[in-house]
Amino acid sequence: MILDIISIGDELLIGQTLNTNAHWIAKEMDALGLRIRQHISISDNKEAILTALQDALNHSDVVAITGGLGPTNDDLTMPVLNEYFGGKLIKDEQVYADIEEFVSRRGSDMNENNKRQAIVPDNCRVIRNKNGTAPGLWFEKDNKVVVSMPGVPHEMKKMMEDAVIPWLKEKYEFPAIVHQMVQTQGVPESKLAEMLSDWENNLPTTIKLAYLPSPGRVKLRLSSIGKDRSEVLQNIQVEVDKLKKIIPQYIYATENKKIEEVVGELLKQQNATLATAESCTGGYIAHLVTSISGSSDYFKGSVVSYANEVKVNELGVKESDLIKYGAVSQAVVEQMALGVLQKMNTDYAVATSGVAGPTGGTDEKPVGTVWIAVADKNGVEAKLHHFGNDRALNIERSAVAALGMLVKRVSIKLE
**Footprint on residues 99-138 left by a copy of itself (CB under 8 A):** 103, 106, 108, 111-114, 131, 133
- The number of beta carbons lying within 10 Å of the beta carbon of residue 74 is 10
User: Among residues 89, 210, 238, 384, which is the contact residue for a copy of itself, using CB under 8 A?
Assistant: 210
Instruction: Decide whether 51 or 230 has the Cβ nearer to a copy of itself.
Output: 51
User: Among residues 90, 228, 230, 358, which is the contact residue for a copy of itself, using CB under 8 A?
Assistant: 358
Is 54 a binding residue for a copy of itself by CB under 8 A? The answer is no
Q: Tell me which residue of 39, 24, 399 sits closest to 214, measured CA to CA.
A: 399
Is 70 a binding residue for a copy of itself by CB under 8 A? The answer is yes
Instruction: Decide whether 14 or 323 has the Cβ nearer to a copy of itself.
Output: 14
Residue numbers 229-258 binding a copy of itself by CB under 8 A? 256
Question: What does residue 96 show for φ and ψ, rounded to 5 degrees?
Answer: -60, -45
Region binding a copy of itself by CB under 8 A among candidate stretches 135-143, 245-253, 341-349, 372-380: 341-349
CA 392, 397, 398, 402 dihedral sign is positive
Is 342 a binding residue for a copy of itself by CB under 8 A? The answer is no
Q: Tell me which residue of 338, 264, 321 sits closest to 298, measured CA to CA.
A: 264
Residue numbers 136-155 binding a copy of itself by CB under 8 A? 152, 154
Is 49 a binding residue for a copy of itself by CB under 8 A? The answer is no
Instruction: Decide whether 145 or 303 has the Cβ nearer to a copy of itself.
Output: 303
Pairing relationship of beta strands 62-66 and 2-8 according to DSSP bridges: parallel
Q: Tell me which residue of 284, 410, 255, 281 sits closest to 353, measured CA to CA.
A: 281
User: Among residues 169, 191, 244, 268, which is the contact residue for a copy of itself, using CB under 8 A?
Assistant: 191
Instruction: Decide whether 209 or 233 has the Cβ nearer to a copy of itself.
Output: 209
Region binding a copy of itself by CB under 8 A among candidate stretches 77-85, 164-172, 190-198, 318-326: 190-198
Is 357 a binding residue for a copy of itself by CB under 8 A? The answer is yes
Q: How far apart are the first and last CA of the chain?
A: 44
Element (H, E) at 412: helix 391-414
Residue numbers 254-313 binding a copy of itself by CB under 8 A? 256, 276, 278, 281-287, 289-291, 293-296, 299-307, 309-310, 313
- The number of beta carbons lying within 10 Å of the beta carbon of residue 344 is 18
Min separation Cβ 392 and a copy of itself, Å: 7
Is 40 a binding residue for a copy of itself by CB under 8 A? The answer is yes
Q: What angle do CA 82, 87, 93 make, to 5 degrees?
A: 90
Residue numbers 361-390 binding a copy of itself by CB under 8 A? 388, 390
Long-range contacts at 311-320 (CB < 8 A, ≥ 24 apart): 311/279, 311/335, 311/336, 314/339, 314/343, 315/277, 315/339, 315/340, 315/343, 316/342, 316/343
What's the rounded Cα separation, in Å, for the pair 280 and 257? 25
Instruction: Decide whether 11 or 265 has the Cβ nearer to a copy of itself.
Output: 11
Is 335 a binding residue for a copy of itself by CB under 8 A? The answer is no
Instruction: Decide whether 32 or 233 has the Cβ nearer to a copy of itself.
Output: 32
User: Among residues 200, 231, 241, 255, which is the contact residue for a copy of itself, using CB under 8 A?
Assistant: 200
Instruction: Decide whether 206 or 411 has the Cβ nearer to a copy of itself.
Output: 206
Is 26 a binding residue for a copy of itself by CB under 8 A? The answer is yes
Q: Tell me which residue of 131, 107, 103 sits closest to 115, measured CA to CA.
A: 103
Q: Tell me which residue of 208, 157, 214 sits closest to 178, measured CA to CA.
A: 208
Q: Tell me which residue of 350, 354, 335, 369 sits closest to 407, measured CA to CA.
A: 350
Element (H, E) at 26: helix 20-32
User: Among residues 83, 101, 161, 194, which is the contact residue for a copy of itself, using CB under 8 A?
Assistant: 194
Is 359 a binding residue for a copy of itself by CB under 8 A? The answer is yes
Min separation Cβ 43 and a copy of itself, Å: 8
